[in-house]
Amino acid sequence: MGQALIDYLRHGRPKTSRREIFLRHNAPFEPFGDRTNMHYIITKYRRKANIKLPEKSRSGLHSLRHTLASRLLEANTPVDIIAGVLGHASPETTRHYLRVDIKSLRNVALDPEEVLHAKD
């Protein structure tokens, strides 16, 4: 993560006297405003697409991170690789994002009938 930030500052950040790290990449090169941050943009296009969310759902970047982590896990990507993609220093932090992998859980689920009859 640190190397990516250094690379951005050296090669990707627009040349300007602004002190903020992340700036718009189209002139004027200024910080993101209330209507240019990722949460606003995601919400705007979600609404345009008429995608309804449950009232207490996660609807921002955190939701996208969970989805990315889940898809990587479904593709049998090792946890340490997922941690790197998410920018986590430790795979333990990443485990928070990997709590639910329904497909894998189904693969190890027990049939209640088998369990009941095994006791007989």
pLDDT digits (tens, 9 = 90+) for 11-69: 999 989 998 888 888 888 888 877 777 778 788 888 898 877 777 665 566 777 888 88
Residue 118 scores a pLDDT above 60: no
Asked whether residue 45 is domain-assigned, the answer is no
| Number of structural domains the chain divides into | 1
Asked whether residue 119 is domain-assigned, the answer is yes
Asked whether residue 107 is domain-assigned, the answer is yes
Asked whether residue 22 is domain-assigned, the answer is no
Do 95 and 74 form a contact (C-beta atoms < 8 A)? no
Q: Give the closest residue to 70 by CA, choosing from 86, 48, 46.
A: 86
Residue 96 scores a pLDDT above 80: no
Please give the pLDDT value at position 4.
84
Please give the pLDDT value at position 45.
85
- The mean pLDDT of 87-105, rounded to a whole number, is 74
- Rounded to 5, what percent of the chain is helix, strand, coil? 55, 0, 45
Asked whether residue 69 is domain-assigned, the answer is yes
Residue in this structure with the two tokens 């955190």, named with its chain if needed: 62
For 110, the domain range is: 56-120
Please give the pLDDT value at position 74.
83
What token pair was written down for 101? Answer: 């992998």
Who has greater pLDDT, 111 or 87? 87
Asked whether residue 1 is domain-assigned, the answer is no
- The mean pLDDT of 69-86, rounded to a whole number, is 87
Asked whether residue 102 is domain-assigned, the answer is yes
Share of the chain above pLDDT 90, in %: 2
Return all residues near 10 (Cβ < 8 A) that are at least 6 apart: none
Asked whether residue 21 is domain-assigned, the answer is no
Please give the pLDDT value at position 64.
78
